[in-house]
Structure 1
Amino acid sequence: MSGTVLVALRGASFAYEDGPPVLSGLDFEVREGRALALLGRNGSGKTTLMRLLSGGLRPDGGELTVEGRPVRYHRKGLTALRTTVQLVVQDPDDQLFAASVGQDVSFGPLNLGLPDAEVRARVAEALAALDIAALADRPTHLLSYGQRKRTAIAGAVAMRPRVLVLDEPTAGLDPDGQERLLATLDGLRENGTTVVMATHDVDLALRWADDAALLTPSGAHTGPAADMLARTDLLTTAGLRLPWGVAVGRLLRARGLLAGGAANPRTPEELAALQVL
């Protein structure tokens, strides 16, 4: 896979107190500029992995590195990590706490001790990136679910991380809300942010991601999304179904309607535009 390794877990293990190991000897990489989908069954350790990447948890064994340098779990080291990696959890209500949207988004930059002018600039930039500038003064308790999602992501974006880790960001959104969020993520990527998205939606992963990581009992298996999401063996082990586009591509090939080397359609629109044999 192309791209510089920005953040990596090397031989990482973790268990919660009095519990069995959640992850054991895990190797996992986030490469610069690659949209990465993280998939696995419930209880496979996706949330734990994301919290390890962002410094919310510390591995019991192994290490977390940023550009090859081990992370140090003191105040200075964690501050440096959080300017590189930001995690947005699945439920925005677990992340929002300030009275207004603008105040909530400003919390991270203020904690970095930045000058007021820099904080205001970052807040304005993040609100614009998430298309919620008009909500800056809106009380957070009056926001819709989709607006709360965007506000939580804006708070992370205001930290200007190089890696943005999102836990099920499209969950609970209607189709229009999902499309708008995906367009926003595309804009963030175009501006240099590497995005990692945990999702159960294999069709979304196939459509959106450059790479896919399937979390199984034997570890994380990562590669180009089109290849990994066609691996029936790994999908079964990860508790996932075959993506719609892969199944359609196989059917077309079996009927002699699609060349062997042609890419599978990722969306209904791509299927409609497909030039079959």
Structure 2
Amino acid sequence: MSGSVPLVALTGVSFAYEEGPTVLSDLDFAVWEGRALALLGRNGSGKTTLMRLLSGGLRPRAGRLTVAGAPVGYDRAGLTRLRGTVQLVVQDPDDQLFAASVAQDVSFGPLNLGLSDDEARARVDEALAALDITALADRPTHLLSYGQRKRTAIAGAVAMRPRVLILDEPTAGLDPDGQERLLTTLDGLRANGTTVVMATHDVDLALRWADDAALLTPAGARVGPAERMLAGTELLRRAGLRLPWGVAAARLLREHGLVDEGTPSPRTAGELAELVLRPPRG
């Protein structure tokens, strides 16, 4: 891990909605700087609740949220500081977009930080460029395609320059080209120092993209390196997930002696092709 203290952490956290069952109980969960983290679990497992707890949108009934080891206060000042560090982008961009144009929507957060017009404009320009939507700056938000609305919602979060960007099912509803463009964008954000957390049901995407994977099961959260976590058949079953195709393919190749034991699972079709064409050692 990059550092001895997690960038954001929940410690001993429990949460239940009004007049509802407990969603999360005595949860310890950490986001480490520089590590791409995939959050997976069946519907109703608590993924959305967990993301909202991390971003300050919900306050735990018990336990605490810390940023770089310091407890987060839930007064206005404390939440303002938190949102300068952690930003959540919800799954449906229409739940997040409300301004008349793309640039106006992306500028909302920076202006609320009290930045000058020039400083806010610089952040908007930076975020639009990062999401490859500079040409859409003056476009009315109601005229955007679904993929463009997704990018605009993410740009609004990026304009806050968060250290942690949390995305709820960011590739849902995108065509293959849109998914690839978004993943390239996320790679660029990570290269510039943003730690990204992605909630997804797509185990293949998680294996390909993430450094670490967090699986939410009825017994709690299990977190570790993505390849190891996504190869645990029983753990995946308890989380309501299937085995990624790359892990299944690697197991089949090992059973037939076509690759060495310990060979990493392919994360893309290209890696699978290289694996098959490369003779085993010995």
Distance in structure 1 (CA, Å) of the matches to 2:266 and 2:124: 39
Distance in structure 2 (CA, Å) of the matches to 1:211 and 1:27: 16
Per the alignment, residue 179 of structure 1 pairs with 180
Structure 1: 5+ residue stretches without partners: none
1:1-277 maps to which residues of 2 (within 5 A)? 1-3=1-3, 4-274=5-275, 275-277=278-280
Verify the 8 A CA contact 1:27 1:219 in the aligned structure 2. no
Structure 2: 5+ residue stretches without partners: none
The 10-residue stretch of structure 1 (216-225 or 30-39) with the greater mean CA deviation from structure 2: 216-225
Quote the offset at 1:262 in angstroms: 1.0
Tell me the TM-score normalised to structure 2 length.
Answer: 0.97
Quote the offset at 1:137 in angstroms: 0.3
How much identity, in percent, do the aligned residues show?
81
Tell me the TM-score normalised to structure 1 length.
Answer: 0.99
Distance in structure 2 (CA, Å) of the matches to 1:206 and 1:261: 16
Equivalent position SS for 1:56: coil
Letter of the 1:269 partner, please give it: G
Q: Deviations over 1:37-80 (max 9, x none)?
A: 00000000000000000000000000100011110000000000
Letter of the 2:115 partner, please give it: L
Indicate the RMSD between aligned Cα atoms, in angstroms. 0.7
Quote the offset at 1:2 in angstroms: 4.4
Distance in structure 2 (CA, Å) of the matches to 1:263 and 1:240: 20
Equivalent position SS for 2:7: strand
Q: Deviations over 1:91-128 (max 9, x none)?
A: 00000000000000000001111111110000000000
Distance in structure 1 (CA, Å) of the matches to 2:279 and 2:138: 53
Distance in structure 2 (CA, Å) of the matches to 1:152 and 1:267: 28
Q: Deviations over 1:155-199 (max 9, x none)?
A: 000000000000000000000000000000000000000000000
Distance in structure 1 (CA, Å) of the matches to 2:116 and 2:59: 31
Equivalent position SS for 1:220: strand
Equivalent position SS for 1:273: helix
Distance in structure 2 (CA, Å) of the matches to 1:89 and 1:75: 22
Distance in structure 1 (CA, Å) of the matches to 2:23 and 2:203: 23
Quote the offset at 1:276 in angstroms: 3.6
Letter of the 2:93 partner, please give it: P
Letter of the 1:158 partner, please give it: A
